[in-house]
Amino acid sequence: MEFDHVQTDQLLLTTKQVRKRLDFTRAVSREVLLECINIASRAPMGSHVQRNKWLIVEDPALKLAVAELYRKNAEPYFEAKDQALSDERAARVQSSARYLSDRMHEVPAMVIPLRLDRVEHSDMGTQAGWYGSVLPGVWSFQLALRSRGIGSCWTTLHLGSEAEVGRLLGIPDTVTQVAMLPVGYYTGDTFSVTPRRPAEEITFIDRWGQTVGSVAQP
Ligand SMILES: Cc1cc2nc3c(=O)[nH]c(=O)nc-3n(C[C@H](O)[C@H](O)[C@H](O)COP(=O)(O)O)c2cc1C
């Protein structure tokens, strides 16, 4: 089977973190979330050790409680950032992040990717292998959602209250929450391509600092 790489590239280039364009009024079925989790579970994991779990929060009272803990961490973060907004794009991201934070409890579903164990006291190799075994699936989940017209936003601000959220949701303290994704259908058609530095600017050849244009290809 050949892929339509133009379409695949378009999916990869325009899958954004969605906040202002989340439709808070349209339900997202459990079925479609499970379908996307099934796809996301195909992402790589070190030694094929399947220690990832997902928690979908649907109950309005629990969503409110998680949203309140999110805001408890987000508000001081936003206030500190207000003093140091670097440019117009940073200001837009901040305004969008505030919008989502204020309405977090209204999202149709919150999805929390989890991995068994804790690694905060482990060496770098262990941490890299451990996070590398769970985070690729989170991005796959976002892509699978997006190709079904569903937006999501990768958030981590609630993790300042990870233990409280854990207690609220009955997550054992031996389990790590790696993110929290509010999920909802998005409004409008597509998304613009995120501006990022070109590959030639962020890639070195053979040695650190050796730019692509400065070395002939063998
Ligand atoms: C690891 C990680 C943590 C993030 N945490 C938050 C967060 O807590 N709240 C939020 O609104 N956005 C969060 N974001 C979204 C970023 O702010 C987002 O990537 C930025 O707005 C750029 O958006 P774009 O990638 O869609 O262009 C996070 C993104 C990543 C990758």
Q: Does the structure show a pLDDT above 80 at 186? A: yes
Nearest CA to ligand 1 atom 19: 17
Structure-token pair, residue 110? 């919150």
Q: Does the structure show a pLDDT above 80 at 116? A: yes
Instruction: Output 59-66 pairs: Cβ under 8 A, ≥24 positions apart.
Output: 60/105, 62/168, 62/169, 63/104, 63/105, 63/106, 63/107, 63/110, 64/105, 65/168, 66/104, 66/105, 66/110, 66/158, 66/165, 66/168, 66/169, 66/180
Mean pLDDT of 89-94: 88
Mean pLDDT of 73-94: 88
* Residue 210: per-residue pLDDT: 97
* Residue 84: per-residue pLDDT: 80
Q: CA geometry: angle at 95 spanning 89 and 110, to 5°?
A: 115
Mean pLDDT of 134-162: 98
Q: Is 73 in the pocket of ligand 1 (CB under 6 A)?
A: no
Round the average pLDDT of the chain to a whole number and report it: 96
Residue 112, classed as helix, strand or coil, is strand
Which of 48-52, 65-69, 96-100, 203-207 is the least confident region? 48-52
Q: Per-residue confidence at 45, pLDDT binned at 50, 70, 90? A: very high
How far is Cα 9 from Cα 31, in angstroms, rounded to an integer?
A: 26
Q: Is 194 in the pocket of ligand 1 (CB under 6 A)?
A: yes
Q: Is 142 in the pocket of ligand 1 (CB under 6 A)?
A: no
Mean pLDDT of 196-210: 97
Of 6 and 81, the one with more pLDDT:
6
Q: Is 17 in the pocket of ligand 1 (CB under 6 A)?
A: yes
Mean pLDDT of 148-154: 98
* Candidate of 154, 158, 196 to mutate for ligand 1, largest count of ligand atoms within 8 Å of Cβ: 154
Q: Does the structure show a pLDDT above 80 at 86? A: no
**Quick one: 110 exposed, middle or buried, by C-beta within 10 A (0-12, 13-18, 19+)?**
buried
* Residue 25: per-residue pLDDT: 98
Task: Give the pTM.
Answer: 0.96
Domains, in order of start, for the chain = 8-214 (3.40.109.10)
Ligand 1 centroid from CA 153, angstroms: 7
Ligand 1 centroid from CA 47, angstroms: 29
Q: Is 153 in the pocket of ligand 1 (CB under 6 A)?
A: yes
Q: Does the structure show a pLDDT above 80 at 176? A: yes
